[in-house]
Amino acid sequence: MVEPGRPSISSTLLGTGFAVGTEENRLTSRSVRSFVIRNGRLTKAQQAALENLLPLYGIPFRGQPISSEEMFGNDRPVWLEIGIGNGDALIHMASMHPEVNFIGVEVHAPGIGHALQAIEQVGLTNTRLIHHDAVEVLESQLKPGSLERILLFCPDPWHKKRHHKRRIVSDEFAALVASRLMPTGLLHCATDVAEYAHWMLEVLNQAPGLTNMSSENTFVDKPTWRANTRFEKRGIRLGHVMHDLLFQRNEERVNP
């Protein structure tokens, strides 16, 4: 029996094993990875959240498609945030949009732990977390055409040219995103790194399955509903300018 205010998760997902370790090979099988696990220490509160709250608000990665009904107990629209950091932006959006289901994907355990604490404190029932590589989650755990929005805020820019292959935004990523968005679904990206912003713009403008929502095929103004992320706040303090990109899935969807 679900406690009042507790999330409703299908019994088929409970107790099926969560990846709470920090080893990269537990979080992805990809050889070229868009992330590096940093040696950030878990606080006692974060560790407790992983142990006690992840089974309530987490979805284990099992490499098989999961329906919205299994994850949330309803069929409301689903928004996916890739790389939630400490979860502040995700929690803000989920609080402002109770009519939407939110999935946050993150590889760093401290961020998952911090977000779990906030979800419990705020009392959100429309938010789930997945501790795994977002690309693999999109590839094997989320069904084609199942997402209303995909959000990618302040991804790792991988500044050095020899590391550009690690950037998450690529032709393959664009095709994957287009396949998972529902018709007219949106991809929203944001970064404070100008060079990476133009990289993303070039890649996404060329993606057959996506259409730039800017009338000039460039950047868009920041939507009023988007909260500042932790990395964005740091960038603003350093004098950086945020660049927002908004793309809509079109009927030329590419299936990866």
Tell whether 75 is covered by a domain: yes
- Please report, for the domain that includes residue 50, its CATH number: 3.40.50.150
Res 9: pLDDT: 58
Tell whether 63 is covered by a domain: yes
Q: Compute the mean pLDDT over every residue in the chain, rounded to the nearest whole number.
A: 85
- Domain ranges, residue 221: 24-249
Spatial neighbors of 131 by CB under 8 A, at least 6 apart, are: 18, 19, 20, 27, 54, 58, 61, 106, 107, 109, 112
Weakest mean pLDDT among 28-37, 127-136, 186-195: 28-37
The share of the chain scoring above pLDDT 70, in percent, equals 80
Tell whether 3 is covered by a domain: no
Residue 154 is encoded by which pair of tokens?
A: 């302040």
Tell whether 209 is covered by a domain: yes
CA–CA distance, 19 with 11 (Å, rounded to integer): 18
% helix, strand, coil for the chain, step of 5: 35, 15, 50
CA–CA distance, 47 with 219 (Å, rounded to integer): 39
pLDDT band at 207 (very low <50, low <70, confident <90, very high): very high
Tell whether 220 is covered by a domain: yes
Residue 105 is encoded by which pair of tokens?
A: 């994907």
CA–CA distance, 188 with 110 (Å, rounded to integer): 25
- Classify 221 as helix, strand or coil: coil
State yes or no: pLDDT of 15 exceeds 50.
Answer: no
- DSSP class per residue in 181-202: EEEEEEEEEEES-HHHHHHHHH
Tell whether 136 is covered by a domain: yes
* Cβ atoms 182, 147 nearer than 8 A: yes
- DSSP class per residue in 44-102: HHHHHHHHHTHHHHB----SS---HHHHHSS---EEEEE--TTSHHHHHHHHH-TTSEE
Spatial neighbors of 194 by CB under 8 A, at least 6 apart, are: 240, 241, 243
Tell whether 230 is covered by a domain: yes
Q: Which of 156, 171, 221, 244 is catalytic?
A: 156
Weakest mean pLDDT among 121-135, 192-206, 239-253: 239-253
Task: Give the residue from 140, 155, 132 showing the smallest Cα distance to 23.
Answer: 132
Residue 192 annotated as catalytic: no
Task: Give the residue from 170, 135, 168 showing the smallest Cα distance to 154.
Answer: 168
pLDDT band at 228 (very low <50, low <70, confident <90, very high): confident
Residue 103 is encoded by which pair of tokens?
A: 């999935």
Q: What is the pTM of this model?
A: 0.84
Tell whether 12 is covered by a domain: no
Residue with tokens 């199942």: 146
Total domains present in the chain = 1
- Classify 234 as helix, strand or coil: helix
Kindly state the greatest CA–CA separation across the chain. Answer: 53
